[in-house]
Structure 1
Amino acid sequence: MRIVAGDFGGRRLKAVPGMATRPTTDKVKEAMFNIIGPYFDGGRSLDLFAGSGGLSIEAVSRGIEHAVLIDRQYAAIKTIKDNVTVTKAADRFEILKRDARRAVTELAQRGDQFNLVFFDPPYAQQKIVQQMTQLRELGLLAPDARIVCETDQQADLPEAVPGFDFIEQRNYGITVLTIYALGA
């Protein structure tokens, strides 16, 4: 696993030990960023199920100014910290060991807003549509926000989600990328 492109391109990243998380493959990550970017001019990203941190690190490498990474597993948080160290830009990352629901409440209380949000939850615990709605209702999404969802085939995310515009959906084997934009 590596950072595909940008300021940190080519640097190797660690995967979270064990079977509790599954890292996004470099192929899927590259395809994802070709759809949503591929490069950014600042902005903030949020990853509620950060795992190894690879998606947020890739986003910062490609121009996102600051990334907030959330995960509730100790092993994931340790791996994220190790991977952020590889960037030599730790000040551009905030790592929080929290349950996603609690983290969202805290971020809303702080008045944070995000231009890019990654949803890559454990496949058995996908509540993406409800979580997208919660982010919108709490004012956590900037007007230009993009939502990137990485799921398995069984998730079957709908095209029509109130408050969001469907952008695109692509299949990569067992992985499905679904991308939305905050609606007007």
Structure 2
Amino acid sequence: MRVITGEYRGRKLETPTGYEIRPTSDKVKESIFNLLMNDTWGQVFCDLFSGTGSLGIEALSRGAKKCYFCDSARESIRLTRRNIEHCGAEERAVILQGDYQRTLDRIHEKVDVFLLDPPYRAGLYEKCLLKIDRLDLLSRNGIIITEHGSRDAMPESAGRLKRIRECRYGKTVVSIYRYPQESVSEEE
């Protein structure tokens, strides 16, 4: 596993030894950032269920202003911390240990891009989307990118959030959520 492009390009990231942590493949990671295009520079990210921190580190490498790395597993937090230090990204990284509810409660600014990759079939996707919406953490033009298995049923909407796109990569699917643009216009 490596950083694909940007400031930390080519840096190898430490990977887990067991099967408890399921890192995003380089192919899917590259596809996610291709979907974002240039919407990384200067943005605030949150890598919820960070695992190794690979997605958030890729965002920082591509110019994200800040990234929150959140996970409940101590081993994931250790891996994430070591990978952030290996890249020299400590100044723009905030590491929060705890379940998604507690860590989301500790974020006190708008996030432009949420990266959600919880354990497949754990039933957390809709709960996470609803919590982010309820706490009003997503910026007006922000997006939530969820990585899930092809057998996971994803909601069309959760609170005010709507699914706007779905891309398949073999057994992995990426769904993108955001606020409908008409409701964003009304808020301006």
3-state SS, counterpart of residue 125 of structure 1: coil
The match for 2:135 is 138
Q: TM-score scaled by structure 2?
A: 0.90
Moved over 6 A (4+): none
Q: Name the CA distance, whole Å, in 1 between partners of 2:99 and 2:173.
A: 24
Percent identity, please: 31
The match for 1:10 is 10
The match for 1:97 is 97
- Uncovered stretches (5+) of structure 2, i.e. residues with no partner: 184-188
- Uncovered stretches (5+) of structure 1, i.e. residues with no partner: none
Question: Per-residue CA shift, 1:58-94, capped at 9, x if unaligned?
Answer: 0111111000001111111111011001221211101
Amino acid at match of 1:86: H
Q: Name the CA distance, whole Å, in 2 between partners of 1:7 and 1:81.
A: 18
The CA deviation at 1:48 is: 1.7
3-state SS, counterpart of residue 115 of structure 2: strand
RMSD across aligned positions (CA): 1.4
CA distance change for structure 1 residues 44 and 155 in 2, over 3 Å: closer, same or farther? Answer: same
The CA deviation at 1:124 is: 2.8
| 1:1-184 map, 5 Å | 1-38=1-38, 40-107=40-107, 111-183=108-180, 184=183
Q: Name the CA distance, whole Å, in 1 between partners of 2:123 and 2:14.
A: 24
Q: Name the CA distance, whole Å, in 2 between partners of 1:97 and 1:40.
A: 24
State the aligned residue count: 181
The CA deviation at 1:38 is: 4.3
Q: Name the CA distance, whole Å, in 2 between partners of 1:24 and 1:16.
A: 12
Query: Could you tell me whether the CA contact under 8 Å between 1:42 and 1:65 is conserved in 2?
Result: yes
